[in-house]
């Protein structure tokens, strides 16, 4: 039974790694952000159709395409939008575009949910349907696609299937800082996030944990990642693991399995493999620390199959 569980984990992790390498949504790094129109929802210009890119193609900008409205997607959108607003004096612009097959219903929802949206960022609705402007090549199965651009070209692209503040906000914040000329990684607190909800629950539920785990680990093991990309992603993993025992344990189980199973060469670059070996050793539990909601028993294979199913 244990052999079956271990084999299933390896298989699902491999599928997840391959799937993440194949996910594309929107223009890639180095490609231009081209003009497209959307309708303004609030303010004096409400109802008007505008060129979203006009006037912002000569400096840093964050484009947030909301393709599915969920609690996690709106929470991350609000955090990023508010953070971008604090960078306006440094020239950063932010555009929030909702993609929908029913603009009328989406506009009604935006009016009802106005308090949950970012402050200082006016939402717009694309008139190009659920797939958005054709020239952008947005993947319809994404929940969010976030582009960071400068001088009219993409410098960072974040296609998110399962958006999570804990897994995604910091790496996007890092891209924002980079486009503004700084080599630093903001903490969640610096980005304005308060972990009150996590504190009240003690920990995320199992489905959310799996989503966070995958979002945190996928950037580490992407085969196209540069050493700098791996370093940044690994630092986020280690920082999150230091504050979340369940995540540290989850990473140890997976990396220990990969290393002991002789599968290390299947995962990411040499830099990534060095981190996987490091975590297999350093994240090992002390004594009885290795106990979780399953009483220390292996997580069933069906739970881990979510990694593959969610891609």
Mean pLDDT value of segment 156-174: 91
- Kindly report, residue by residue over 27-44, the tens digit of the pLDDT: 999 999 999 999 999 988
- Kindly report, residue by residue over 135-159, the tens digit of the pLDDT: 999 998 899 999 999 999 999 999 9
Check residue 39 and give its pLDDT. 95
- Kindly report, residue by residue over 294-310, the tens digit of the pLDDT: 333 322 222 333 332 33
Alpha-helical regions (H) of the chain? 2-22, 71-85, 103-112, 170-179, 196-201, 206-221, 227-243, 245-260, 270-282, 301-304, 306-309
Residues of the chain with CATH 3.40.30.10: 35-160
Q: How far apart are CA 56 and CA 147, in angstroms?
A: 13
Length of the chain counted residue by residue: 311
Helices (H) and strands (E) in the chain, counts: 11, 7
Q: How far apart are CA 310 and CA 276, in angstroms?
A: 23
Position with higher pLDDT, 306 vs 63: 63
| Contact (Cβ atoms closer than 8 angstroms) between residue 258 and residue 279 | no
Q: Which two tokens stand for residue 39?
A: 């309708």
Check residue 224 and give its pLDDT. 84
- Kindly report, residue by residue over 180-217, the tens digit of the pLDDT: 998 888 888 889 887 554 444 444 456 677 778 887 88
Match domain 35-160 to its CATH number in 3.30.70.120, 3.40.30.10, 3.60.70.12, 3.30.428.10. 3.40.30.10
Task: Report in angstroms the alpha-carbon separations of 279 from 129, 169, 223, 283.
Answer: 44, 23, 19, 5
Mean pLDDT value of segment 245-270: 89
């Amino acid at each position: 039974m244990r052999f079956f569980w271990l084999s299933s984990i390896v298989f699902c992790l491999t599928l997840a790694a391959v799937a993440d390498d194949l996910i594309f949504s929107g223009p890639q790094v180095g490609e231009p952000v081209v003009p497209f129109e959307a309708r303004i929802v609030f303010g004096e210009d409400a109802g008007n159709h505008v060129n979203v890119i006009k006037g912002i193609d000569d400096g840093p900008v964050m484009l947030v395409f909301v393709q599915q409205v969920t609690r996690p997607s709106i929470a991350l959108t609000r955090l990023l939008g508010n953070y971008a607003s604090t960078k306006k004096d440094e020239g950063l612009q932010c555009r929030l575009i909702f993609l929908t097959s029913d603009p009328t219903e989406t506009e009604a929802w935006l009016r009802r949910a106005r308090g949950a949206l970012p402050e200082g960022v006016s939402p717009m609705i694309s008139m190009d349907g659920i797939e958005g402007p054709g020239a952008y090549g947005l993947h319809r199965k994404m929940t969010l696609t976030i582009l960071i651009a400068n001088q009219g070209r993409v410098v960072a692209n974040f296609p998110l299937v399962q958006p999570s503040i804990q897994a995604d906000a910091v790496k996007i914040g890092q891209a924002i800082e980079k486009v503004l000329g700084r080599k630093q990684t903001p903490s969640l607190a610096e980005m304005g996030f308060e972990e009150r909800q996590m504190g009240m629950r003690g920990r995320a539920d199992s489905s959310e944990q799996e989503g966070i785990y995958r979002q945190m680990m996928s950037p580490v093991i992407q085969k196209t990642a540069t050493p700098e990309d791996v370093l940044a992603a690994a630092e986020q993993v280690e920082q999150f693991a230091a504050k979340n025992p369940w995540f540290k344990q989850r990473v140890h189980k997976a990396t220990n399995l990969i290393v002991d199973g002789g599968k290390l060469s299947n995962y990411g670059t040499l830099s990534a493999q060095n981190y996987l070996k490091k975590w297999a050793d350093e994240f090992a539990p002390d004594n009885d620390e290795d106990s979780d909601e399953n009483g220390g028993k292996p997580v069933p294979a069906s739970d881990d199959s979510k990694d593959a199913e969610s891609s």
